[in-house]
Amino acid sequence: MNFYAIRAIYLFELARTWRTLLQSIATPVISTSLYFVVFGSAIGSSMTQVQGVSYGAFIVPGLIMLALLTESISNASFGIYMPKYSGSIYELLSAPVSYLEILIGYVGAAATKSIILGLVILITARLFVDFEILHPVWMLAFLVLTALTFSLFGFIIGVWADGWEKLQVVPALIVTPLTFLGGAFYSISMLPPAWQTVTLFNPVVYLISAFRWSFYGVSDVNVGLSLAMILGFLLLCILAVGFIFKTGYRLKS
């Protein structure tokens, strides 16, 4: 294992975060703060509690997960797409660096940035609402696991994309709507029975539900099932990356 190569890729990607601090950290935090102001004040004034938790506190895990998913995908996809776009990917592929080391460097950096952002938003949420974390170890575990999984998914998107517009298709048209419809701002138990059944086909429901359970001990679906869904999606991403590395799909052409 070439740890020097991993370290070089990892630090280079992290350095890009500090160069674009306003876009990488400040913008998501400001957006999340606006969600608190709009949803917490407007809706929270008429809906005091959900599942025994104040509405302002109830939406904290959903807001963190919304930022975590979108930023994980964006960071990882942009990180691997830029070398493809500039042509520097060929220098990387011709260097004595394995595919696994490239993957660890890019995905590790993207996941680290997303985890930092999630923790910053968690601290920011304290300025607006009081909340507790019943299972802090599980909270960190779900935070890290989700960041790694969706950074890996973002890496796949970055390899697949052959244009700037494709980098935004999946996050903007698929992930963000699924997050809004996945119980980020409400409990799916508030929906009519037919829509509850439909919502269970949304994979983001399981992510948000498990993350909210780590905070308040309440969830819309079984926590074990949620963990299995996360691990299952991680396995699918690993298989997809294995196919990319084995065939050189859009890396060697």
Report the predicted TM-score, pTM, of the whole model to 2 decimal places. 0.88
List the chain domain ranges: 3-247
Least confident of 47-61, 116-130, 146-160, 200-214: 47-61
Q: What is the pLDDT of residues 53-68, one digit of tens each?
A: 888 888 889 889 988 9
Token pair recorded at residue 102: 């490239």
pLDDT digits (tens, 9 = 90+) for 146-188: 999 999 999 999 888 887 777 888 777 888 888 888 888 888 8
- In the chain, % helix, strand, coil (3-state, to 5) comes to 75, 0, 20
pLDDT at 78 over 80: yes
- Residue 20 pLDDT greater than 70, yes or no: no
Residue 124, CA distances (Å) to 29, 75, 85, 117, 121 in order: 8, 21, 35, 10, 5
Question: Residue 250: how many CB atoms within 10 A of its CB?
Answer: 14
pLDDT of residue 25: 72
In the predicted model, what is the mean pLDDT of the chain? Answer: 84
Residue labelled with tokens 């001990």 = 217
In which band, very low, low, confident or very high, does the pLDDT at 135 lie, cut at 50, 70 and 90? very high
Question: What pLDDT does 74 receive?
Answer: 86
Distance CA 64, CA 31 (A): 11
Task: Check residue 248 and give its pLDDT.
Answer: 74
Confidence (pLDDT) at 231: 92
* Per-residue confidence (pLDDT) for residue 36, from 0 to 100: 75
